[in-house]
Structure 1
Amino acid sequence: MPTPLIYLAAALAEIAGCFAFWGWWRLDRSIGWLVPGMASLALFAWLLSLVETDYAGRAYAAYGGVYIATSLLWLWLIENRQPDRWDLLGAGVCLVGAGMILFGPRGS
């Protein structure tokens, strides 16, 4: 699976897992929400381990930009709150930074 797709899947798994905890704690949902939430967070961790890079820290740093952009998509599609121009500009900056971290030329 290509790295951008792994990052997208990981972001969705992380956000869904965290949202399950949010729902239980902040929205008074059933404690049963925690079971799929924990499974989703485990899936997130496994997916990030699939990224082709020599160093975990670099994979995690680059993932951050994708996570931010995907979180704003979640905000819009799941929470029905449209991101504003500052959200979108910030996400764009983060995605550019993530691309530089992941795909930038490396010395020996």
Structure 2
Amino acid sequence: MTVLRSLVLFALAAVAEIGGAWLVWQGFREHRGLWWIAAGVLALGAYGFVATFQPDTHFGRVLAAYGGVFVAGSLAWGVVVDKFRPDRFDYLGALLCLTGVAVIMYAPRR
């Protein structure tokens, strides 16, 4: 149950951070305005709080593992939202990152 909770929290953190960055991008680069930027800033702040609910108590470990989730999540966001088409190297890189997440977060420790 702890691993499932951790995975759900990683997914929520990815939506908050990637979505927040996307909103800022849209607000500034696509000239959608300050409301988009403000919503992005709020979402980015929410990401910071979501990470604190991870079962592991080590900030560095959680943030390092989240880096791999961010890589894979960013590619997925691009596919769904921006109609980006990853190539086989994108998929391979994401798989390597998620393997790193699994090792960092879920390897048996004493």
State if a TM-score over 0.5 links the two structures. Answer: yes
Task: Please give the alpha-carbon distance, in whole angstroms, between the structure 2 residues aligned to 1:81 and 1:20.
Answer: 17
Q: Is the 8 A contact 2:61 2:105 kept in 1?
A: yes
Identical columns (%) = 35
Aligned length in residues: 107
Could you give the per-residue CA deviations for residues 27-80 of structure 1, whole angstroms, max 9, x where no partner exists?
111111122111111111111000011211001111111111111111100001
Map of 1:53 onto structure 2: 56
- TM-score, scaled relative to structure 2: 0.91
2:43 to 31, 40, 46: 40
Task: Please give the alpha-carbon distance, in whole angstroms, between the structure 2 residues aligned to 1:53 and 1:82.
Answer: 34
Moved more, 19-28 or 56-65: 19-28
Task: Please give the alpha-carbon distance, in whole angstroms, between the structure 1 residues aligned to 2:50 and 2:58.
Answer: 15
Map of 1:7 onto structure 2: 10
- TM-score, scaled relative to structure 1: 0.93
- What RMSD in Å do the two structures reach over aligned CA positions? 1.2
Q: Which structure 1 residue ranges, 5 or more long, are not aligned?
A: none
Q: Counterpart of 1:105 in 2: which secondary structure?
A: coil
- 1:89 matched to 2:92: yes
Runs of 4+ with deviation above 6 angstroms: none
Task: Please give the alpha-carbon distance, in whole angstroms, between the structure 1 residues aligned to 2:37 and 2:27.
Answer: 7
Map of 1:73 onto structure 2: 76
Q: Which structure 2 residue ranges, 5 or more long, are not aligned?
A: none
